[in-house]
Amino acid sequence: MSTPPNAGTGSKPPLTPSAKPAASPAEAPPQITVLPPLTESSGGASPPGTRRPAGRPEAEHFDQPVILQQTATWSRSILWLILLSTSGLIAWAALFQIEEAVQAQGQLEPQGQVKDVQAPVNGVVRDVRVAEGQTVQQGQVLFTLDPRSAQAEYQALTQVRQALRDENRLFWSHLSGGTDASLRPTQQALLQASQAELASRVNAAEEQVKQLQQQLTQNQVALKGAREQLALNQRILDDLKPLVDEGGLARVQYIRQEQEVLRGNREIERLTQEDVRLNHAIAQATEQLRNTQETTRRDLLTRIAENDKRMNELDGQISRSQVLQQYQEVRAPASGVVFDLKATAPGYVVNTTEPVLKLVPTQNLVAKVYITNADIGFVQPGMKTEVRVDSFPFSEFGDIQGTVRRIGSDALPPDDVHRYFRFPAEITLDRQTIQVNGRPTKLQSGMSVTANMRTRKRSVLSIFTDMFSQKIESLRFVR
């Protein structure tokens, strides 16, 4: 077997491209055996035309395996890097805290209440002295009413009261039976007719009583005569009885006399009943006469009392009408901005139940928001808040800092707008403007806002543990 050209020389044998320097014995790397490639024998010739590298023998081969050793430094470094990164991430999640915020929807409102301006009396607008959006001061004239309507109402009430007063005077004259020279001719004629009617009814009742009394007198005379006739017939009957018993008188005559006595008794009985009836009729007629007078008097007194009550009510209405005539000019009850003006031109009909316009206070605006039951627990007055106006995108115009001023003591029930229980809250704003194109733009009442109230700080790790706890808790209710 031929030896390699490099054998016995101080030069190192050539390595394959994958060969590396051997590691130190202390590292004890794993050994990798590489099989040598097939080579030609020393006596073999190269194919014609083959170009040999310079400085290398014509025939070259390996007769021993090459052992490559790999170091463990990189694997250990990667392992420690993973452990340190994981530990650092967990430590950061446990120590680093983020702010937790509660989001609530609402709108901007003035601190003072919006005042409804109503007309103190029904009427027609004669002059409008303000316009929509105009700022007015307290006591400034807003609009005036046509005074003719109030004057007509006052005159009508006065005329009705005077008519009731005259009617009462007429009734009192009727009760006294005299006349009143201050009454109008029509009332005097009415008084005379009423008195004549009453006198006619009284006379008719008195005449009926007189007739009954005359009938009673006649009946009493007839009753007296019947009693005397009965007594006479009874004596004759008594005298005839002995004669009939002795046979000196026919019995037929005695029987006839008995019949006369019986007829006399029946007549007396009839006249007695008639006497009772006439006395009862006289009593009824007398009572009717008295009732006629008392009923008329009672009716007149009742009407007088009703008229007095009505006049007292009219006195109050007349006084109110006199006062309202002084309020034909409607003035602003407070300073503010005119809003929702309905009476925009003369001729508008106003009443005391519907507002004619509204005054929005010129005080600073506050954000009135509604917080749900799930978020109210950590919200307290004095908390810092970020208020974002929906009309101005947050990414471009930013937000407005604010502070929670007040929280409702109880939840409001659901309504047509909000379908859930909610707590009202007010947030004061640090500024009343927002920068638009480099210029401050004033906020307006009624703008919708979104408030982010910073409630507390919590670690990032607690977010994941809460999610895990919720998953574990949900397993308890799996059926």
116-144+328-357 to CATH, choices 2.40.50.100, 3.40.50.720, 3.40.50.12780, 3.40.190.10: 2.40.50.100
Domain ranges of the chain: 100-112+361-469, 116-144+328-357, 150-326
Contact between 174 and 300 (Cβ < 8 Å): yes
Cα distance between residue 227 and residue 453, in whole Å = 120
Which of 155-164, 185-194, 215-224, 237-246 is the least confident region? 185-194
What average pLDDT does this structure show over 99-111? Answer: 85
Residue 113 identity (one-letter amino acid)? Q
Cα distance between residue 307 and residue 290, in whole Å = 26
Q: Residue 68 — very low, low, confident or very high, per pLDDT cuts 50/70/90?
A: low
Cα distance between residue 89 and residue 83, in whole Å = 10
- Bridge-based pairing state of the strands 422-429 and 400-407: antiparallel
pLDDT above 90 (res 361)? no
Sheet with 135-136: list strands edge to edge: 115-118, 355-360, 336-339, 135-136
pLDDT above 90 (res 162)? no
Tokens, residue 176:
């006294």
Contact between 338 and 359 (Cβ < 8 Å): yes
Percentage of residues of the chain with pLDDT beyond 90: 4
pLDDT for 197 equals: 67
Contact between 405 and 426 (Cβ < 8 Å): yes
Tell the residue number behind the tokens 């808790």, with chain if given: 473
pLDDT for 29 equals: 47
Cα distance between residue 163 and residue 305, in whole Å = 15
Query: Distance from first CA to last CA of the chain, Å, rounded?
Result: 84
Residue 465 identity (one-letter amino acid)? T
pLDDT for 370 equals: 93
Q: Residue 352 — very low, low, confident or very high, per pLDDT cuts 50/70/90?
A: confident
Cα distance between residue 401 and residue 451, in whole Å = 10
Cα distance between residue 316 and residue 154, in whole Å = 11
pLDDT for 185 equals: 61
Q: Residue 20 — very low, low, confident or very high, per pLDDT cuts 50/70/90?
A: very low
pLDDT for 318 equals: 87
Contact between 100 and 456 (Cβ < 8 Å): yes
Phi first, then psi: give them for residue 66, nearest 5 degrees.
-100, 125
Which of 6-10, 177-181, 216-220 is the least confident region? 6-10
pLDDT above 60 (res 4)? no
**Architecture, CATH, for domain 150-326:** Orthogonal Bundle (1.10)
Which of 11-25, 351-365, 463-477 is the least confident region? 11-25
Tell the residue number behind the tokens 């806002």, with chain if given: 449
pLDDT above 90 (res 155)? no
pLDDT above 70 (res 376)? yes
SS (H, E, C) the chain: CCCCCCCCCCCCCCCCCCCCCCCCHHHCCCCEEECCCCCCCCCCCCCCCCCCCCCCCCCCCCCCCEEECCCCHHHHHHHHHHHHHHHHHHHHHHHCEEEEEEEEEEEEEECCCCEEEECCCCEEEEEECCCCCCEECCCCEEEEECHHHHHHHHHHHHHHHHHHHHHHHHHHHHHHCCCCCCCCHHHHHHHHHHHHHHHHHHHHHHHHHHHHHHHHHHHHHHHHHHHHHHHHHHHHHHHHHHHHHHCCCCHHHHHHHHHHHHHHHHHHHHHHHHHHHHHHHHHHHHHHHHHHHHHHHHHHHHHHHHHHHHHHHHHHHHHHHHHHHHHCEEECCCCEEEECCCCCCCCCEECCCCEEEEEECCCCEEEEEEEECCCHHHCCCCCEEEEEECCCCHHHHCCEEEEEEEECCCCECCCCCCCCCEEEEEEEECCCEEEECCEEEECCCCCEEEEEEEEEEEEHHHHHHHHHHHHHHHHCCCC
Tell the residue number behind the tokens 């490559």, with chain if given: 68
Superfamily covering domain 100-112+361-469: Efflux pump adaptor protein, beta barrel domain (2.40.30.170)
Quick check: pTM over 0.75?
Answer: no
Q: Smallest Cα–Cα separation from 445: which of 341, 349, 331, 368?
A: 368
pLDDT above 80 (res 47)? no
- Bridge-based pairing state of the strands 448-459 and 97-110: antiparallel
pLDDT in tens, 419-439: 889 999 999 898 888 888 888
Higher pLDDT, 190 or 327: 327
Tokens, residue 372:
């749900």
Give burial (CB, 10 Å; 0-12/13-18/19+) of 278: buried
